Amino acid sequence: MNVTALIVTWNRLPQLKNTIKATLALPFSHIVIVNNGSTDGTREWLESLEEPRISLVHAYENLGGSEGFFLGSEYVSRHINTDWVVFYDDDAWPAEDFFEEFLKLDVDTPSVICAKVVDCNGNICQMNLPWRKRTVSLRDNLNYIRCPEDFAVHSESQSEVITCSFVGAIIHADLLKKTYLHIHRELFIYFDDVYYGYYLYLSGYRLHYQPSIKMYHDIGGRPVGNIAAWKIYYLVRNMLLSRYIFKNDSFFTPVAILFRVTKYFLLVLKNKNRLKSVKLIIRAIKDGLNDKRTPLDQ
């Protein structure tokens, strides 16, 4: 079986080196690395590698992970002969038994397999759990806080899902070639993977969570409960954009959006620069309602 790794990186050279080392140790036929305009020596280091399996795609500015995965998917679809494509960031890598477990599935139909993603201590990465169903009503959103496994997958149980995370998504190459234009490159970060997976689900393709296939995600040292204001901008704006992207089938209902925006307002009140943070949320709401998709000047 011919399997390709697709890795997106930006200014995380130490983490990228670990990721490439782990990736090269596995029998990938091709390794496509998208460098999102890094300024930390990433380009020079990548171009020094003498490895025939590696193909490089250099963007000249950072337009976010969504642009990186779009460019990588486009490159694979046009230039790489492969059966499956494994998506991940520069701070993630497949487990040593990744191929062994994947080959046990014996899947050859156009579909998406979602791996179990854990941190370096083996704890589940909640951010990478795919959804089984949407939170539609206020009660759903409250229930999600109390019991997220009613909506996202249970980490140890196989399940059909309606979304995917780009960390650990294994996508059939034929499916990717037909649909990569539905990776919304303009989102910068957040929900690009959720929306792409949801588009595939609405189109009748199968998405399946398989916990026997494991990916590591090095998220150590990230602050808990304190999200940078510019990140909250994209969370809020991109939620609202789902109303334009999906129209009547939007992943986020108005109730879900109101619930989450309220949560983010409460979060930014903890930031040191509260006024700037609140202004960014207000701008995110305006941009989302007006279908404005240009990157935020940071």
Is the pLDDT confidence value at 147 over 60? yes
Query: CB–CB of 191/239 below 8 Å?
Result: yes
Among candidates 231, 295, 283, 229, which has minimal Cα distance to 37? 295
Binning pLDDT at 50, 70 and 90, where does residue 149 land? confident
Buried b (16+ CB within 10 A) or exposed e, 211-243: bebbbbbbbeeeeeeebebbebbbbbbbbbbbb
Mean pLDDT of the chain: 92
User: Where do the domains of the chain lie?
Assistant: 3-217, 229-289
pLDDT value of position 277? 86
Mean pLDDT for the stretch of residues 277-297: 92
pLDDT value of position 225? 58
Q: Which fold has domain 3-217?
A: Spore Coat Polysaccharide Biosynthesis Protein SpsA; Chain A (3.90.550)
pLDDT value of position 241? 96
How far, in Å, CA of 92 to CA of 96, rounded? 13
Residue whose entry in the numeric block shows the structure tokens 């989302």: 288
How far, in Å, CA of 209 to CA of 225, rounded? 27
pLDDT value of position 252? 94
Query: CB–CB of 19/31 below 8 Å?
Result: no
The predicted-structure confidence for 178-198, as pLDDT tens digits, reads as follows 999 999 999 999 999 999 999
Mean pLDDT for the stretch of residues 237-262: 93
Is the pLDDT confidence value at 148 over 80? yes
Is the pLDDT confidence value at 221 over 70? no
Mean pLDDT for the stretch of residues 29-47: 95
Is the pLDDT confidence value at 273 over 60? yes
Least confident of 154-168, 174-188, 211-225, 239-253: 211-225
pLDDT value of position 223? 56
How far, in Å, CA of 152 to CA of 275, rounded? 34
How far, in Å, CA of 127 to CA of 131, rounded? 11
Query: Quick count: other Cβ atoms within 10 Å of Cβ 22?
Result: 17
pLDDT value of position 93? 97
Which residues are within 8 A (CB) of 17 and not within 5 positions of it... i.e. 6 or more apart?
Answer: 45
Query: CB–CB of 113/105 below 8 Å?
Result: yes
Cα–Cα separations (whole angstroms), residue 22 to 16, 94, 181, 216, 285: 10, 7, 29, 10, 41
pLDDT value of position 146? 85
pLDDT value of position 298? 52
